[in-house]
Amino acid sequence: MSALSRIGVAIDSDLLEKFDALIARKGYTNRSEAFRDLIRDELVEKAGERPDAAVVGTVTLVYDHHVRMLSEKLTDIQHEAFHHVLSTLHVHLDHDHCLEVLVLRGKSAAVRRIADMLISTKGVKHGRLVITSTGAEL
C-alpha cells in the first residue's frame, strides 16, 4: 500500500447529507472508505473497458431448462471457452428454472464475448455480466 494522502473536498451540503445517508445504509462507518470504494469502482469499470485488460467476470444466467437444447447449447459455449471458464455453479431454482453463475477470467474483450454469447442464447430469461479487477492493480 502506498502512503496516505489527505485531501479536502468542497461539496454541496445537501449532496453531502444524501451521501452520508447512503453510506450509512450501506454500512460504512466513515466517509473515507466510501470515497475510496467509489474511486476504485470507477477505476475498475474504466480499466475493464479496455479490450486487452486482464479481468475477472461473473455471469449470472436464469433459464428454463425445458427449452429444447438450451442446456446443451450453454454447455457447448462453455466448452468452447474452457480456457476462460474458471468455475460454474448451478442451482435448480424450482421445477422449471435454473440459475447458473460462471466465473470467467481473461482479456476483457474475450470475457465480454463469452458472456454475450451465453446471455443472448434463446431461452435465457435473464443474464448479467459483472466485470471486476484481478485485484493486482488496486
Taking CB under 5 A as the rule, does residue 104 contact Ni ion?
no
With binding defined as CB under 5 A, does residue 18 bind Ni ion? Answer: no
Least spacing, CB of residue 13 vs Ni ion, in Å: 51
Closest distance between Ni ion and the C-beta of residue 116, in Å? 22
Closer to Ni ion by CB, 26 or 68: give it.
Answer: 68
Nearest-10 crossing angle of helices 13-26, 31-48: 90
Grid cell at residue 126 = 435473464
Judged by CB under 5 A, does residue 98 bind Ni ion?
yes
C-alpha span between 40 and 50 (Å, rounded): 16
Q: For residues 93 and 99, give the distance between their C-alpha atoms in angstroms, rounded to a whole number.
A: 6
**Please, what is the minimum distance in Å from the beta carbon of residue 99 to Ni ion?**
8
Stretch of 11-19, 41-49, 76-84, 94-102 contacting Ni ion, by CB under 5 A: 94-102
* Among 92, 122, 125, 126, interactor with Ni ion by CB under 5 A: 92
Which stretches of the chain are DSSP H helices?
Answer: 13-26, 31-48, 70-80, 108-119
- Segment lying near Ni ion (by CB under 5 A), choices 28-36, 76-84, 96-104, 130-138: 96-104
Q: Positive or negative, the Cα torsion across 109, 112, 118, 120?
A: negative
Distance CA 89, CA 110 (A): 20
Tell me whether residue 23 or residue 61 sits nearer to Ni ion (CB atom): 61
| 64 SS3 class | strand
Nearer to Ni ion, 124 or 131 (CB): 124
Q: Please give the residue ranges that form the binding site for Ni ion (CB under 5 A).
A: 92, 98
